[in-house]
Chain A
């Protein structure tokens, strides 16, 4: 039910490595704030539009993905123009739309596998200090994705139980049982993980020997 936002394709962005795309994104995000020439900002936006259209989304889907962001940007830049100057608001709008489009383009051209690889690379220094464990992180992310559909099904079951009893649907009567139901699973799941030796912990290795 959580389908990735990745879109298959062979555009320029698709062919660049994940790290370069992330670097591009953050460079652009900072760079646009250092510029206040209309020509430069407009060209940046043009490049962003070109990149976002090359990724392989239909125009409708492309707009749907960033519509809420565009709405917020429009409102905030209108406020900006009101409180400062129209020119300021206009430039800010160019900046933000540029950033949002490039970000959406990067998201659409990066698979989750590429992202995990880039993330592991970024976390390597932290791993060396011992702050982060990449294997644990992958396990945790996998667990999240594994359990979202189950928890959603529980949520729907609780809702239907309310409806069957003619009880009004209120957050406080639905969320508490949902959480307790979900968390009670934790023991079983963690035992299953340890029994399979998935985490390769020193303690579990000792017991198997």
Chain B
């Protein structure tokens, strides 16, 4: 692995951690406060690409296991690896990978601003919402013994906030793409 890749992965893991320090915001029409940390996961995929984004998430998970308070709200330790909501933590790896996979293929330097923004947005939604929930919700269902359909229905409350996050991720990713492009272009 090139040293620069290793450094990028480590720096992005640090970004995901710092985003956890930002206090969650509550928007009037959404029942659940939105945290910035999963925004970092979407960005990892959009900016670093599939492999490096996923590895950044792996680093954060290892630090959680090491007993450091890196999850938003100062949470850390093994309790968060085997809790009912832990699927949403382990899912980060697949989510960043899926986001990166799509971003690598759908965003190109020749595209218009709008094309790039929508490419990043779709990547963030598919990875950060669809794939993440695909792992998180069954985990809740199994670990807490709740029927899958009910667990899924309950998780829907978080989707509006996550869509807003995906939009913010798209803007930030495009700004990074223009200012300091790192996304490998694959077809």
| Chain A residues at the B interface, C-beta cutoff of 8 Å | 2-6, 25, 29, 65-66, 68-69, 72-73, 76-77, 79-80, 83-84, 88-89, 92, 96, 99-100, 103-104, 106-108, 110, 112, 115-116, 119, 133, 136-137, 139-141, 143-145, 147-148, 151-152, 155, 171-172, 175-180, 182-187, 189-190, 193-194, 199, 201
Contacts and interface: CB of A to CB of B under 8 A. Distances in A.
Given A140-B6, A148-B18, A186-B8, 15 more contacts: A5-B76, A73-B144, A96-B84, A119-B62, A139-B10, A141-B63, A144-B59, A144-B63, A147-B10, A151-B18, A179-B15, A179-B172, A190-B3, A190-B6, A193-B3
B9 interface: yes
Contacts of A106: 77-78
Given A83-B150, A183-B182, A175 B145 contact: no
B145 A80 contact: yes
Interface stretch (B66-74, B94-102, B107-115, B121-129): B66-74
Contact of A180 (B2, B144, B179): B179
A83 B147 contact: yes
Interface in B6-20: 6-15, 17-19
Nearest to A187: B4
Contacts of B17: 2, 144, 148
- Interface majority SS on A: helix, strand, loop or mixed? helix
B85 interface: yes
Given A151-B18, A193-B3, A79 B154 contact: yes
B146 interface: yes
B106 interface: no
Contact of A69 (B43, B62, B65, B83): B83
B47 interface: yes
B80 interface: yes
Contacts of B73: 68
12 contacts: A2-B69, A66-B79, A83-B150, A96-B84, A119-B66, A133-B1, A140-B6, A141-B63, A144-B63, A151-B14, A151-B18, A190-B6
